[in-house]
Amino acid sequence: MSSKIVVVGGVAGGASAAAKARRTDEFAEITIYERGPYVSFANCGLPYYLGGTIEDRGELFLVSPERFKSRFNINVEVNHEVLSIQRNEKTIIVKNKETGIESEVPYDKLILAPGSFAARPNIEGVNGERIFTLWTIQDVDELKGFIEENKPQKAVVVGGGFVGLEAVEALLSLGLSVQLIEATSQILSPLDQEMTIPALNHLKNLGVDISLGSSVKGFSDRGNTVEVTLDNGRIIDADFIVLAVGSKPELDLPRDAGLTIGETGGVVVNERMETIDPHIYAAGDIVESLHLVTGKKVRIPLAGPANKQGRVAGANAAGGDMTFKGVIGTFIIKVCDFTLAKTGINEKEAGEGGFDYHVSYTHSPHHATYYPGAETMTIKLIFEKRCGRLLGAQAVGPQGIDKRIDVLATAIHGRMSVEDLEDLDLAYAPPYSSPKDPAIIGGFVSANIHRGEVNVITPKELAQAIAGGKEIQLIDVRTESEFRGGSIPGAKLIPIDLLRGRIEELDPSKPTVLYCRVAYRSYLAYKILQAHGFKELQNLSGGYMSWVMGTSE
């Protein structure tokens, strides 16, 4: 007798689970129940369809119910909502949303992958007709239809996370004036704040009005416009609003069924994606996972983990034996002509996790500078002082970010050290990289710190020292023209090429901090002064570029 496998939810986790279950057991009876009208669509592509980058709406649909049946022999029931789970009877109650008829469906194995939904804060006017979310096909259809019909000029995006920033880009590409409102002090909270500054500046240069540290108190419909009231008293008028303040997991089914919900707000599963009920699996946005760096439980609702979790759940539900080891939270986002990415943990998370760590900043061209079009990227590495193990990496810049963050993610997954990064053998040709790739440069600099070849100070630490009145001999080793273009308050200019002849101007007994544009010339100056008996030396990590990033408001 064939096994009966029921999957709740499609899109990433559920669709992957069903397809893997079929590949594992050709004879299982597999059915997907999807509450919405579409079983498998590219929700990450919605902003790009809105903005016109993806022109054909049909490209958003990955696999149709008909294809699931013909290729995988999987039954798909769209517009069917699973109302409850009877664990003792191993049945579910399903409602056909078109007819209203409810039915009881038995299962041998049940896979829960209902995903998440766009959050709507409990504030005045949040359900107004001119307030949109961007989470489902229906959402993008409504918003796109509104824009085409009403020809609006001004939009407000609430929320500076992934969806909010992608919505900003989409609306800019449509020629709209855009304002971005974010309740916290930065965009993209998984990144350290200073790493978001270049993207903020990029958006401002494109004309985006940005309000950080301001939350919305309410919305008021004014007929053809919406009035947005902020907690600081500011009032903004817009033709419509895109609400992008995060998502919430669909937990009603597992919670009502008595499955365990962890402290992270996700369903507790083991590495086989089994819940506390051996007949029920879960995957995707609703589950919590093990973070491979911190060893703690986290809930990271991203498409990559959801697909892999679904694959494991589907295999095991069909009699296989696979495991999902955990996550490191790798992500990347395009913000107009700028890219930001992260893998592993950020500096705040390193501190909260009790790690004793170092930080390094590097600024490198994404390919050989003599080949046209080289763009500077910034890489921040966080690594353990004791063993040099790479804990986290962030990379931002106009080009080449995807390649480097994936190299660094692989290094973190493999528990590699920054000294291992020095030894990587990466592809090089002038259009793509440099003989010393930015990821390897990050390894060089970090390994020098780890081995004690150079002591560094971060921009934040230097700013705190200056503010605290600490006596520091601060030396700028750039050129005079660079110095005139901007410098750190209190710095003395001694260009690197003149340093050996002017060492007598410096006091070797004083704490000395050196800096240049990106910390390379100041590293050379560090070695010179070290050879001349200077004891309390520090190089500013990432140089003046990192200082500007780290001290920008």
Catalytic positions: 44
Q: What torsion, rounded to 10 degrees, do the Cα atoms 453, 459, 463, 466 define?
A: 30
Kindly state the DSSP code that residue 552 receives in the 8-state scheme: -
What is the C-alpha to C-alpha distance for residues 313 and 323, in angstroms, rounded to an integer?
A: 9
Q: What SS3 class is residue 377? A: strand
| Helices 13-24, 303-317: crossing angle, 10 deg rounding | 30
Structure tokens, 439: 């990821």
| CA 127, 128, 134, 139 torsion-angle sign | positive
What is the C-alpha to C-alpha distance for residues 160 and 139, in angstroms, rounded to an integer?
A: 19
What is the C-alpha to C-alpha distance for residues 513 and 469, in angstroms, rounded to an integer?
A: 14
Q: Which residue has the tokens 């002017």?
A: 502
Q: What is the 3-state secondary structure (H, E, C) of 127-169?
A: CCCCEECCCCHHHHHHHHHHHHHHCCCEEEEECCCHHHHHHHH
B/e letters for 276-290, b = 16+ CB within 10 Å, e = fewer, are ebeebbbbbbbbbbb
Neighbours of 297 (CB within 10 A): 16
Q: What torsion, rounded to 10 degrees, do the Cα atoms 329, 330, 331, 332 define?
A: 160
What is the C-alpha to C-alpha distance for residues 273 and 466, in angstroms, rounded to an integer?
A: 51
What is the C-alpha to C-alpha distance for residues 443 and 418, in angstroms, rounded to an integer?
A: 5
Q: Nearest 5°: phi and psi at 8?
A: -105, 110
What is the C-alpha to C-alpha distance for residues 503 and 501, in angstroms, rounded to an integer?
A: 6
Task: Bin 354: left if φ > 0, else alpha if -120 < ψ < 50, else beta.
Answer: left
